[in-house]
Structure 1
Amino acid sequence: MIVRTLADCEQSNRKIVTETWDSTRMLLKDDNMGFSFHITTIYANTETHIWYQNHLESVYCISGEGEIETIADGKIYPIAPGTLYILDKHDEHLLRGTTEMKMACVFNPPLNGKEVHDESGVYPLEAETVA
């Protein structure tokens, strides 16, 4: 059994910080569960271009408000507490935080830990691991 607290993970190298978000990776590839689980904070008044070409992701909004815009068709979907969005087709999108949003995220295949978006909004399939 694996037991971790969010507080402990936030104080470790499992917390990745960028200009528009931070993500605490609580469950990773090395845990051998077949998926990874993260608690991610999207900062207020930000926009992040994302295109997971190598991963599928589901995201549940715990708190805060924002929106997601799909690049292919320009559709905009509001995000509020209780919203789940599922990137089941490697959807290229813009994620906007109107207020700070706290999100629970699941990735398949699982992340290694140190992933950040490249210039195209993509996470690499393999990245540096965290302890």
Structure 2
Amino acid sequence: MIVRKLSDAQAQGRCVSAPGWESSRLLLKQDGAGFSFHITRIFKGAELPMHYQNHIESVYCISGRGEIVDLATGQTHPIAAGTIYILDQHDKHILRAFEEMEMACVFNPPLHGKEVHNAEGAYELEAEAIT
């Protein structure tokens, strides 16, 4: 059994940040669950182009408001508390935050821990692990 507290993530070195976001990585590849789980804050005003070429991501909005743009279709979807979106086709997208958003994120395959977006907006498959 694994038990962790979000409030302990910073002290445990499980927080990663980059311009526009901060992620507390609560469950990672080395935990052996087959997926990773993160609580991510998207800062107000952020506009994040992303393209998870190596991962499937599911995102549940806990709080805040924004939108996601599917770059293949041009379709824009509002995001607010209670909304989930799944990037099941490695969808190239832009995430915009109109106010700070708190998101619960699941990645498959699981992240190692210290990933940040590369130039194409993706996470690499092999990255440095949080120890």
Assess same fold via TM > 0.5. Answer: yes
Aligned match of 1:57 = 57
Gaps of 5+ in 1: none
Q: Deviations over 1:49-94 (max 9, x none)?
A: 1100000000000000000001111100000000000000000000
The alignment status of 1:117 with 2:117, answered yes or no, reads yes
Aligned match of 1:19 = 19
Deviation at residue 11 of structure 1 after TM alignment: 2.8
Q: Deviations over 1:16-59 (max 9, x none)?
A: 01111000000000000000000000000110011000000000
TM-score by length of 1: 0.98
Gaps of 5+ in 2: none
Q: Distance in 1 between matches of 2:11 and 2:84?
A: 27
Identity of aligned residues (%): 58
Aligned match of 2:93 = 93
Q: Distance in 1 between matches of 2:12 and 2:35?
A: 20
Moved more, 108-117 or 2-11: 2-11
Deviation at residue 10 of structure 1 after TM alignment: 2.8
Q: Distance in 2 between matches of 1:72 and 1:30?
A: 34
| 1:29-48 → structure 2 map (5 Å cutoff) | 29-48=29-48
How many residues of Structure 1 are paired with residues of Structure 2 in the alignment?
A: 131
How big is the alpha-carbon RMSD for the aligned residues of Structure 1 and Structure 2?
Answer: 0.6
TM-score by length of 2: 0.98
Aligned match of 1:79 = 79
